[in-house]
Structure 1
Amino acid sequence: MQEDFLHYIWKHKKFQINHLKTITGESIIINTVGQHNLNSGPDFFNAQLSINDQLWAGNVEIHVKSSDWFLHHHEKDKAYDNVILHIVWEHDTDVYRKDHTVIPTLELKDFISKDVLNNYKNLFAKQNKWINCEHDFAGIDDFILNNWLERLYLERLERKAKTIELLLKESKNDWEAVLFQMLAKNFGLKVNGDSFFSLAKSIDFSILRKSRYNRQTLEALLFGQSGLLNQDIEDVYYLNLIREYQFLKQKFKLENGHVLPCHFFRLRPSNFPTIRLSQFASLYYEHQNLFSKIIETNHLDDFYKLFKVSTSMFWDTHYTFQKESKSSKKMLTKSFIDLLLINTILPLKFCYAKQIGEDVNSDIVKTATSIASEKNSIIEAFNSLKKISKSALDSQGFIQLKTEYCDKNKCLQCAVGNTLIIK
């Protein structure tokens, strides 16, 4: 038996609330179960109970065994002086207040149905399962799942907002600088994300503001800081980049000692850092005040137009500086822009609206619902149980579900787990 389960049972009144009695036979009538406390102190604050027709207001503490009260040294903690009811699975000793009066104790095991207990045990049975509920997941009603996924998506946005808030603090509330750093990370994708992020952090955004009127200057800045201009290559474009970067390095006293190296290994040529950095430079060359444009944009098609950029001309016939390739225009694809929207643009819009006191949740949810679902191992696994992930909102919700609930066995805080226990 886990204490979390007893918290869940009490909080949601998933037990026989009629004819409740303490271990000494006193009647208990629940007016309010109290406010669940997830920090230190009693488990539920401000409960209201009638015990033997006497109204009590105070706190409730929950343990598996009564003796856990002493195991946790609550008898020495003033925070527990106002406990009016001790709820346990098994009563094995009396617990006293400081005035030596016994704290009323409710032994829950006699008031929980066998069906609820069996469902709980089956859900948490260890059978080498990918997630605890994988055998029952397909039977969950779509309405429950869809509502839960929307809530999970907003939870994920809140988590990403915390990262943005830290970057804002570092940049003294420069939204353009934070956008630059976050976009850089996402242009690098999984393989070069940390590298591109360290590159963006190595450049004061004021330098980018002064350099963005010339595409080659921007490319020189990004390629140079990333360490991609350290080769011996006899090419006019490459040599011009080196000269431009050396000038910028001296003018702005640039340092790149902490920039992580870029990787080409096992990447598709279209995702080579050279290609992504040129596209990134083009984005800032073609759009001044990019942050303002993003905040003003609300329709998905307008986002696709805003991010419809390509590499500079040299990269039409190259993927690396050394080797020429078949000519092709290397535009940002719709699927790549979707990733930028999911991981950077929508979280940033959410965080900005939150800071200025606007509620744009419905607009963001609408946009996320219009973007195709991501494809990764988590989404494939959930879809194999029940094919339901159709949009980015779904896929982000499922990622949140797996990483923050399933992997941490938080089934009691999950709408799916709740449904399976009380079915």
Structure 2
Amino acid sequence: MKEDFLHYLWKFKKFDALNLRTFNDEEITIINVGQYLELAGPDFFNAQITIGNQKWAGNVEIHLKSSDWYVHHHEMDSAYENVILHVVWEHDTEIFRNNNTEIPVLELKKYVDPATIQNYQSLLAPKSWIFCEKQIKEVDEFVFKNWQERLFFERLERKSKPIFDLLEQTSQDWEAVLFSLLAKNFGLNTNGDAFFKMAQTIPFSIIRKECFEVENLEALFFGMAGLLDSEKEDTYYKDLKFRYFYLLHKYQMEHLIAEQVQFFKHRPDNFPTIRLSQLANLYHTHQNLFSKISTLNSLKNNVEVFQIGVSPYWENHYQFDKESPIKKKMLSKSFVDLLLVNTIIPLQFAFAKSQGKEITEDLIHLLNGLNPEKNAIIDKFTSFGIVSKNAFDTQSLLQLKKEYCNKSRCLECALGLELVKSKV
């Protein structure tokens, strides 16, 4: 038994609320259970109850045992002086206020349906991956779908926080924020941090000025990523290196390598050389990129923006000095889907939020048109019978796993609450 279960019972009155009596046998009538604060101080604020013939307004504190009051030293905290009812699972000692008046106690275990307790214990049985893995498929579809939408927007809110942090750092330059976030996503898991740091070392005002020559963008990206630090015979390599140091001098920038990029364990199409060339071509093709994507509300138009390949040199190279068969190396559909899910949609959400606009239905529509993501978490949910049809489904499941399942927040989760409900 945990206190959060008792909080759940009290908050939703999951007990025989019509026949309550204090441990001293006085009748209790609940008018209002109070506001669940989840902060320091009593658990429920501004409750209203009647004990005997006396109506009370104040706070309710909840513990597993009455003696926990003293274990937690509430007798020394003035915030607990206004507690009007002590709700416990087991009453083992009397509790007194500083003025020596006894605090009424409700021993809750007498009033809870055994089926509710059994459902709770079944939900929190030892888990192999998540607590409800054997029951999650039983949740009503209507409840599941409503909760998915809530999870999705919680995830968007979480993703928007670093966006607003970056805006503070860039004097509200949305184009600069988009560049940094796209760079991180072009680097994927292995090179994401290195690409992000590379983007942070180049003032976006320089990108704006140099985007008309793709070779200059490649020179900046490759140079700041540490890919122009050796000596090679390749003519294109020498040209990029010359351009890079010229641009450093022109803009009085320092040659800083924040983090070395990695080729190891990457398929050739994901080599940092290819991804940086694609990023350079994206900004060469689309000046004022943010102003274009911020208003796009159709999947087709969003995808068209990213129909980007590499510079001519990289069509028959993956690394400098090593030729390969010619290949256009366009951004794949799966890669564009990742960019939309991880960068474009969160940015559109954050921008709309900053403008006081409501675009939630548009964003759900976009995600419903994207294929479901493929990863170990989604595969595991599939094995429990939770099959994702699109990226909206997978994004909500990722939020569920990270923020609720991993943190054992079952009684804050609509699925957990549904499964704990008495079935008798």
TM beyond 0.5: yes
1:244 positional shift: 0.2
Contact 1:226-1:256 within 8 A present in 2 as well: no
Q: What is the DSSP-based 3-state SS (H/G/I as helix, E as strand, rest coil) of the residue aligned with 1:416?
A: helix
Which runs of 5 or more residues in structure 1 are unaligned? Answer: none
Q: CA deviation at 1:140?
A: 2.2
Is structure 2 residue 365 aligned with structure 1 residue 366?
yes
Kindly provide the CA deviation profile for residues 352-375 of structure 1, in whole angstroms up to 9, marking residues without a partner as x.
111221111121122112211100
- The separation in 1 between residues aligned to 2:150 and 2:365, in whole angstroms, is 13
1 CA distance for matches of 2:152 and 2:81? Answer: 40
Residue type of the alignment partner of 2:33: V
Judge conservation of contact 2:367–2:392 (CA < 8 Å) in 1: yes
Report matched runs for 1:134-213 at 5 Å: 134-213=133-212
| Structure 2 equivalent of residue 72 of structure 1 | 72
The 1-side partners of 2:381 and 2:400 are apart by: 10
Determine if contact 2:226/2:257 at 8 Å carries over to the other structure: no
Q: 1:77-121 CA deviation, whole Å, 9 max, x = no partner?
A: 121121111111111111112222111111111111111111111
Following TM superposition, the consecutive aligned residue runs of length 4 or more in structure 1 with deviations greater than 4 angstroms are: none
Matches within 5 A, 1:194-343: 194-343=193-342
* 1:92 and 2:92 correspond: yes
Q: Distance in 1 between matches of 2:61 and 2:173?
A: 46
Aligned twin of 1:355: 354
Counterpart in 1 of 2:53? 53
Cα distance 1:26–1:198, how it changes in 2: closer, same or farther (>3 A)? same
**Residues 149 and 394 in structure 1, CA contact (< 8 A), matched pair in contact too:** yes
The alignment partner of 1:298 has SS state of coil
Partners in 1 of 2:26 and 2:362 — Cα distance?
Answer: 53
- What amino acid maps onto 2:362 in structure 1? D
Give, in whole Å, the separation in 1 of the partners of 2:159 and 2:401. 16
The residue correspondences of 1:96-115 to structure 2 (distance < 5 A) are 96-115=96-115
- 1:401 Cα shift? 0.8
Q: Distance in 1 between matches of 2:259 and 2:417?
A: 45
CA gap of 1:42–1:256, structure 2 versus 1, over 3 A, is: farther
Q: Distance in 2 between matches of 1:27 and 1:250?
A: 83
User: What SS does the corresponding residue of 2:320 show, helix, strand or coil?
Assistant: coil
The 8 Å contact of residues 225 and 257 in structure 2, kept in 1 or not, is answered as no
Find out whether 1:132 has 2:136 as its counterpart. Answer: no
Distance change >3 Å, CA 139–CA 256, structure 1 → 2: farther
The Cα shift of 1:413 comes to: 0.9
Residues in 1 aligned to 2:43 and 2:277: alpha-carbon distance in whole angstroms: 55
CA distance 1:256–1:153, shift in 2 (3 Å): farther
More displaced 10-residue stretch of structure 1: 261-270 or 45-54? 45-54
Cα deviation digits, residues 21-75 of structure 1 (max 9, x gap): 1111111111211111111111111111122132211111111111111111111
- Between Structure 1 and Structure 2, how many residues are aligned? 422
Is contact 2:23-2:106 (8 Å) kept?
yes
| 1:83 alignment counterpart | 83
Alignment partner, residue 383 of structure 2: 384
Letter in 2 for 1:222: F
Say if 1:140 and 1:256 are closer, same or farther in 2 by CA, change over 3 A: farther
For residues 258 and 227 of structure 1, what CA distance do their matches in structure 2 show? 6
Deviation of residue 258 (structure 1)?
5.0
Q: Which runs of 5+ in 2 are unaligned?
A: none
Amino acid at match of 1:411: C
Specify the SS of the correspondent of 1:47. strand
Q: TM-score, normalised by structure 2?
A: 0.97
The code of the aligned residue for 1:303 comes to: N
Taking only the aligned residue pairs, the percentage that are identical comes to 52
* TM-score, normalising length: structure 1: 0.97
Most deviating of 393-402 and 359-368: 359-368
Asked if the contact 2:89/2:108 (under 8 Å) is kept, the reply is yes
Per-residue deviation, 1:231: 2.4
Counterpart of 2:11 in structure 1 is: 11
1:256 CA drift (Å): 4.7
Deviation track 1:249-276 (CA, whole Å, cap 9, x = no partner) reads: 1222333535211111111111111111
Question: Is the 1:11–1:33 contact (alpha carbons within 8 Å) kept by the matching residues of 2?
Answer: yes
1:178-222 CA distance string (max 9 Å, x none): 111111100111111111111111111112111111110001000
Distance verdict in 2 for CA 1:274–1:3, change over 3 Å: same
CA distance in 2: counterparts of 1:85 and 1:333, whole angstroms: 62
